[in-house]
Structure 1
Amino acid sequence: MFNQFIDKLQKIANPIANKLNSTKEFVAIRDGMIATTPVTIVGAVGILMANLPFLDKFAPNVNTFLVNFFSQLGTISIGMLTVTILIAVANSYSEQLKINKLYGIIVSFLSFLVISNFSYKGAGEVAGKAVEKLSVANVIPTALFSAQGIFPALITTIISLKIYHYFIKRDITIKLPDAIPENVTKSFTSIIPMFVVLLFFLVVRFGFSLTPYGYFSDFMYQMFTQPLLALGDSIWAIAIFILIQQLLWFFGIHGANVVGVVWRPILLTMMAANLDAYNTGHALPYIVSLTFWEVYSGVFNFAIPLTLIFGCKSERAKSMGKFSWIPSIFLVHEPFMYGLPVVMNVYMFIPFIFVYLLQFFLVYGLAVLHIAPIPVVPVPWTTPIILSGFISTNFNIMGSLIQILLIVVGFFGYLPFVKAMDKQFLKEEQGL
């Protein structure tokens, strides 16, 4: 009966996952998001160096120098994250559509600027004096290029390139004689499609100017970005994402890649908001972010090879544990996922989903209680366990200790199920 249940789930999950993985828009967003990793890491180094713990106590002059020297690195990279994402996604989507990548990036960026609010209203400073209600026109607010602008940028990029591709594909372009150099021909080819795209977004801009929102970017932030971030910070919404991710993994589909198409932009936006707050000395607005997810959830599955080594007697299980534990330290879990396998293994179905959820609820609760430090400094996803918890929490040893706790919980959660599987392996090895 359990096998029939698994078969039914597989028939539902596989077509959906395969469809998402083959959709150009999803692939572009996924690949574009991944491509921004170097920028966030470089920015994190700047923020880390500008916020070294205790340095202001015993070397204030050195601390002041580091703050002044490195703070702009974080501001430029994280503060301009929307631009980086837009360029990366536009580049990837242009490649998917087989259009000129340079002009794809240009038309996407210009479209985003057209629908954006070039004004600022709020508290500020004029001639060294604080002003509670300040209104400035013809400026680009920095918030537009940081966390606040990510979702408007993604939507305008996809729409603008779809329109652009429509005209290019149907050859609705200016045509020049063959004798004209190719680089000149390419630039003229883009004129009509680019004009139509920007005209479309000018109409959108005008339409929103007649509404209470004023601008498409402001509408997106209030009606789309804020609800998504509230969803992303909801423990129950995260639990649903985890459930879907683990189910897909169980069926042999890379769950993180599929779910990440929707999930990663939300986490990345929350990470940027946390970094902005951290860099300016404010309280972190979110518990969960991309950094939190990679640092803490990345260790959840490390318990599996440990149970194989220390909780099993069969040669098959022990050898797989010994083979896979070192890659798993660097969050490369595929060796035991497909080698044991965890995939389609009825013994692992329950713990793979519910132990993972238990570990998440535990670390989330500890973070709410201010026991688990919230990782804020991005580290490369292959940073070894323990070290990642230490660095990402600004050299807080509790980050490493929480990772160890999660591994211990996972070990004892998996142990009875792994032992049951090991008994079957032993019978097979003994020919029983």
Structure 2
Amino acid sequence: MNTFIHFMERRFIPVANKISSNRYLKSISTGSMALLGVIMLGSIFTVITSFSWEPYQSFLTTTHIGTVLNYIPDFTIDLLGLYMAFSIAYCGASIFDIKDQALGTGLISLVSFLLLSPITVNAKSQTSFLNVTYLGAKGVFVAIIVSLITIQLMKFFVKKNFTIKMPDGVPEMVTKSFTSLIPAVVIAALFGIVKYLFSITSFKTATDFIYTLLQEPLQSLTGTLPAFLILILISNLLWFFGIHGSMTVLPILMPIFLGYLASNTTAVAAGKAVPHVINFGLYDLACLGGSGATIGLVTCMFFFSKSKRYKAFSKIVFPSGLFGVNEPVIFGMPVMLNVMLLIPFLLTPLVIVTLGYVLISLGVITAPIGILGAGSLPPLVHGIVQGSLSFGIYELFATAISMLIYFPFFKALDNQAVQEEREAAEKDVSKDQN
């Protein structure tokens, strides 16, 4: 075990630290998380309209309430690429030290993204319009690439002072607008050239090129259970060594899962099965109670502790664990570098995710939609919010599995704590007698 820990400290952790602190990945992650409100808004209305009870669906149809409710996902989740083009550039500007130009960077990125989006012309009516398909999940990767390029070009112009200087006394917003004018002209011209170059290829658009050569293969890779389990294992290994493993793994999964979310909500709204089972919902299952699926650990601690130490500690970690916050147990118990808990900490998420995936594949439970940001909800409630009561019920079962796996390891620690407390008490008695 010491050899393993030494290897992790020398080889694995430095690489993980570099990944988690990478400013490009951090920009993507931060920009995606900033859209949580928009994503949740669209997801909530999708869930409201997705219950398959026939009288309820008839009510929504006859009253036209369903039509009204479906407007919201159309303009939130289904335009995810559009929002990401702004959000990643806006958040990334601060990360790349051009915070004063954050708004301008976000707007230029948004313009550039729209510039690359194809315009469809209706020959009959002589009208043209943007194809919203390219503004949603299909455009997520283009949005990411455009925003990151925009940040770097804006940073180059600002740091080199290739900007228009305004005299003192000019309002701040006007000054910022003129500061970003030269970069905006260059960036827009650049993406205009890119748009033309793609138009003379067989792909026709940058979105189709990226989607065909990059997004589809990546989605196929991260959409497989073995690849997903490996990422979960890496995340929890990092947590064991005190590093925020989720910050290493989520930037990789975030753009893929956001694409899945749009596809899943569209399918559910149409009354179809969830096409992408491995999504944020399954990731939340792996983090039931927090990374390492520690809900079983804190539940065992709360109900079965014999030692004074863990009885007192459980009153803090059990309530927070129910809502997916397990930093207190990771760093306070601690789970970090606690060899006694390494096996259950790594094994539990893999077991409950694999079993959940198998049950979904067999049709025993319904797959979650994959709503981002629902991970802080307790078991059962989380599954219901994800649009699947059966998945919520499975979360309760997964909690029981987590308890069974963690129990023998926790009891060993608890018995050790009881023994230490008994010996300390005996020493105190000896001192008093002397």
- When normalised by structure 2's length, the TM-score is 0.88
Q: Provide the rounded CA distance (Å) in 2 between the counterparts of 1:407 and 1:180.
A: 60
1:153-172 per-residue CA deviation (whole Å, 9 max, x = no partner) reads 01110011101210111011
For the residues of structure 1 that align with 2:200 and 2:139, how far apart are their CA atoms?
21
Shift of 1:233: 1.1
1:165 aligns with 2:159: no
Partner of 1:431, secondary structure, is: helix
| 2:340 is aligned with 1:350 | no
Shift of 1:16: 2.5
| CA deviation map 1:41-77 (0-9, x unaligned) | 1112222332344263696367643202211012111
Match of 2:420, SS state, is helix
2:402 is matched with 410
| 2:229 aligned to which of 211, 234, 239 | 239
Match of 2:110 in 1: 109
Question: How many residue pairs are counted as aligned between the two chains?
Answer: 417
Residues 57 and 116 of structure 1: is their aligned pair in 2 closer, same or farther, counting only changes over 3 Å?
A: closer
- Of 277, 301, 309, 2:267 maps to 277
Secondary structure of the corresponding residue to residue 129 of structure 2: coil
State the superposition RMSD in angstroms: 2.5
Aligned-residue offset at 1:222:
0.7
C-alpha contact 1:296 1:403 (8 A) present in aligned 2: no
Partner letter of residue 409 of structure 1? I
Is 1:256 aligned to 2:246, yes or no? yes
Secondary structure of 1:139 counterpart: strand
- 2:241–2:337 CA contact under 8 A, matched in 1: yes
Determine if contact 1:90/1:105 at 8 Å carries over to the other structure: yes
- Tell me, yes or no, if the aligned pair for 1:117 and 1:215 is still in contact at 8 Å: yes
Alignment partners' CA distance in 2, 1:336 and 1:237:
27
Are 1:380 and 2:391 counterparts? no
**1:305 Cα deviation (Å)?**
0.8
Q: CA deviation at 1:81?
A: 1.5
Query: 1-side partners of 2:101 and 2:85: how far apart?
Result: 16
* Contact 2:89 2:109 survives alignment (8 Å): yes
> Which stretch shifts more, 191-200 or 8-17?
8-17
1:131 paired residue number: none
Task: State how 1:29-44 maps to structure 2 within 5 Å.
Answer: 29-44=28-43
SS in structure 2 at match of 1:70: helix
Shift of 1:100: 1.3
Whole-angstrom CA distance in 2 between matches of 1:288 and 1:173: 46
Residue 271 to residue 57, structure 1, CA distance change in 2 (3 Å): closer
Asked if the contact 2:267/2:275 (under 8 Å) is kept, the reply is yes
Question: How far is 1:183 from its partner?
Answer: 3.7
Q: Identity, % of aligned pairs?
A: 28
Are 1:292 and 1:376, in contact at CA under 8 Å, matched by a contact in 2?
no
Partners of 2:26 and 2:348 lie apart in 1 by: 30
Judged with a 3 Å threshold, the aligned counterparts in structure 2 of structure 1 residues 58 and 279 are, in CA distance, closer, same or farther, namely closer
Q: Which residue of 2 aligns with 1:390?
A: 384
Paired with 1:181 and 1:390, the residues of 2 have a C-alpha distance of: 50
Q: Which moved more, 1:374-383 or 1:98-107?
A: 374-383
- Measured at CA, do residues 186 and 309 of structure 1 come closer, stay the same or move farther in structure 2, by a change above 3 Å? closer
* Counterpart position of 2:392: 400
CA-CA distance at 1:333 after TM superposition? 1.4
Alignment partner, residue 119 of structure 1: 120
**In 1, distance between residues paired with 2:229 and 2:141?**
23
Equivalent in 286, 295, 298 of residue 305 of structure 1? 298
Distance change in 2, residues 1:263/1:57 (3 Å): closer
The match for 1:423 is: 415
Q: Is the 8 A contact 1:115 1:201 kept in 2?
A: yes
Tell me how far apart the structure 1 counterparts of residues 32 and 349 of structure 2 sit (CA, whole Å): 25
CA–CA distance in structure 1, aligned partners of residues 63 and 169 of structure 2: 61
- Is the alpha carbon distance of 1:295 and 1:87 closer, same or farther for their aligned partners in structure 2, counting shifts above 3 Å? farther
Q: What is residue 202 of structure 1 aligned with on the other side?
A: 192
* 1:186-234 superposed Cα distances (whole Å, 9 cap, x missing partner): 3222222111112222232233234322221111101111111111210
> What is residue 84 of structure 1 aligned with on the other side?
83
Closer, same or farther: CA 69–240 of 1 in aligned 2, 3 Å: same
- Per-residue CA deviations over 1:134-154 (Å, capped at 9, x if unaligned) read xx9943222212111111101
Give the aligned residue type for 1:117.
P
1:384 to partner: Cα distance: 2.2
Structure 1: distance between partners of 2:137 and 2:82: 10
Corresponding residue for residue 70 of structure 1 = 69
Counterpart Cα distance in 2 of 1:63 and 1:338: 54
Matches within 5 A, 1:13-52: 13-52=12-51
- Provide, for residues 219-267 of structure 1, a one-character-per-residue CA deviation record: whole Å limited to 9, x for no partner: 1101111111111210011011011100011011111122111122212
Task: Determine the C-alpha separation between the residues in 1 that align with 2:309 and 2:117.
Answer: 59
Quick check: 1:55–1:63 contact (8 Å CA) kept in 2? no
Would the aligned equivalents of 1:251 and 1:344 in 2 still touch at CA under 8 Å?
yes
Structure 1 residue runs without a partner (length 5+): 128-135
Measured after TM superposition, the shift of residue 287 of structure 1 is: 0.7
Q: Distance in 1 between matches of 2:56 and 2:104?
A: 51
Partner of 1:133: none
Q: How does 1:268-347 map to 2 (within 5 A)?
A: 268-294=258-284, 297-299=287-289, 300-347=293-340
Q: Secondary structure at the match of 1:348?
A: helix
**Offset from partner CA, 1:387-427 (integer Å, 9 cap, x none):** 12223225x2x223201111111111122222232333233
- Write out per-residue CA displacement over residues 331-365 of structure 1, whole angstroms, 9 at most, x where no aligned residue: 11122111111111000111111222111111111
Preserved contact between residue 367 and residue 373 of structure 1 (Cα < 8 Å)? yes
Maintained 8 Å contact 2:257/2:370: no
Mark the CA change 1:78 to 1:57 in structure 2 (over 3 Å): closer, same or farther. closer
SS of residue in 1 equivalent to 2:242: coil
Q: Which residue of 2 aligns with 1:130?
A: none
Structure 2 portions without partners, runs of 5+: 425-434
